[in-house]
């Protein structure tokens, strides 16, 4: 029996790979990515905290718009106080619809990751020509305000069978859509290798707090437990701790306390010197400087 496959990377079991370290001999790369998203009013897809699967209304549009108006700045202030570097996964339409917001993000010199055009749509059912146009549109919007984005995160992890080919051809260096590993690995594309950097499907506020209905303190415990276990595992090989937050979810004040306490615990750990506080683009650049064959994959 032959199941459908993707042929993007070969199987590789962790613990049987070449060893390497992050800069300064550190073993655990630690990053936080904040998704900053724009939604359609009364149309398209989108989350609803009150009634899962509810139609799009002014209520859940306003709840998500809270992320742009308040939640993002709550998160940024909290992470600034903790002196954590930041990466933002930004919808391309925000450059048109919220220019003052994206100007503030660029002024902070944080990493900007392309996050599709809008989180009101998925690209997983697009024709190749239309998807290529979408990628160009998003890339051009971000590039017009600064450096071209090096990384891509599709809304809802959405991909077609040619997304990684199109991203490589558009000049992207890495993608966050494949939650298959705790180490980076190479994806095979028709234009050459593209790096997959770990990004969490589970240590993610939308998955944990909205879909699974965990409380803020439970989510804080998840952060701490993930960090503690991974820091121990990193003795055997370099790992990536990634935390995915969304402005309209984690930016709610009642959740900030638990998230702040969990991150404070990680930063005050007795083995903190083994942790590299970084961004996904820095992780990708480090991997690209390693000798061929060290990072698994294509």
The pLDDT tens digits of the residues spanning 148-183 come to: 999 999 999 999 999 999 999 999 999 999 999 999
Tens of pLDDT, residues 84-135: 999 999 999 999 999 999 999 998 889 999 999 999 999 999 999 999 999 9
Q: Which residue has tokens 């073993």?
A: 27
Closest by Cα among 93, 50, 49, 97 to 69: 97
Q: Residue 49 above 90 pLDDT?
A: no
In angstroms, what CA-CA distances link 122 with 156, 168, 295? 7, 19, 30
Give the domain 23-288 fold.
Answer: TIM Barrel (3.20.20)
- Give CA–CA dist 176/134, Å, rounded: 17
8 Å CB contact between 237 and 294:
no
Mean pLDDT on 72-83: 95
CA–CA gap between residue 95 and residue 37 (Å, rounded):
11
Instruction: Please report the pLDDT score of residue 91 as a whole number.
Output: 98
Cα separation, 42 vs 144, in Å, equals: 30
Closest CA to 92 of 190, 194, 170: 170
Confirm if 250 and 211 have CB atoms less than 8 A apart. Answer: no
Indicate left, alpha or beta for 25 from its phi (over 0: left) and psi (-120 to 50: alpha).
left
Residue 47 confidence (pLDDT):
85
The band of 52, judged by pLDDT with boundaries at 50, 70 and 90, is: confident
pLDDT attached to residue 203: 98
Residue 48: its pLDDT value, please? 84
Distance of CA 249 to the CA centre of its chain: 15
Q: What pLDDT sits at residue 54?
A: 83
Nearest in space to 169 (alpha carbons), one of 133, 199, 196: 133
Closest CA to 250 of 132, 117, 84, 76: 76
User: What DSSP element (H or E) covers 111?
Assistant: strand 111-114
């Amino acid at each position: 029996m032959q199941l459908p496959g993707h042929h993007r990377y070969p199987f590789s079991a962790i613990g049987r790979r070449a060893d390497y370290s992050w800069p300064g001999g550190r073993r655990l790369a630690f990053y936080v990515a904040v998704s900053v998203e724009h939604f359609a009013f009364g149309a398209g897809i989108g989350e609803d905290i009150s009634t899962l699967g509810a139609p799009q209304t002014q209520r859940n549009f306003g709840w998500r718009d809270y992320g742009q108006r308040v939640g993002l700045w709550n998160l940024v202030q909290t992470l600034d106080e903790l002196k954590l570097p930041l990466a933002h996964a930004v919808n391309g339409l925000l450059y048109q619809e919220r220019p003052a917001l994206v100007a503030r993000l660029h002024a902070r010199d944080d990493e900007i990751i392309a996050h599709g055009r809008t989180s009101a749509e998925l690209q997983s059912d697009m024709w190749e020509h239309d998807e290529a146009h979408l990628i160009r549109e998003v890339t051009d919007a971000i590039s017009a305000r600064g450096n071209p984005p090096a990384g891509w995160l599709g809304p809802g992890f959405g991909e077609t069978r040619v997304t990684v080919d199109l991203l490589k051809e558009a000049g992207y260096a890495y993608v966050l859509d494949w939650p298959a590993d705790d180490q980076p690995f190479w994806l095979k594309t028709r234009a050459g290798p593209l790096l997959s950097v770990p990004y969490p499907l589970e240590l993610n506020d939308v998955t944990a707090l909205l879909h699974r209905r965990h409380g803020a303190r439970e989510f804080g415990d998840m952060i701490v437990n993930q960090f503690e276990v991974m820091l121990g595992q990193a003795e055997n090989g370099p790992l990536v701790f990634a935390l995915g937050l969304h402005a309209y979810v984690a930016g709610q004040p009642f959740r900030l306390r638990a998230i702040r306490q969990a991150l404070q615990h990680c930063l005050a750990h007795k083995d903190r010197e083994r942790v590299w506080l970084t961004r996904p683009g820095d992780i990708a650049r480090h991997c690209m400087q390693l000798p061929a064959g060290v990072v698994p994959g294509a």
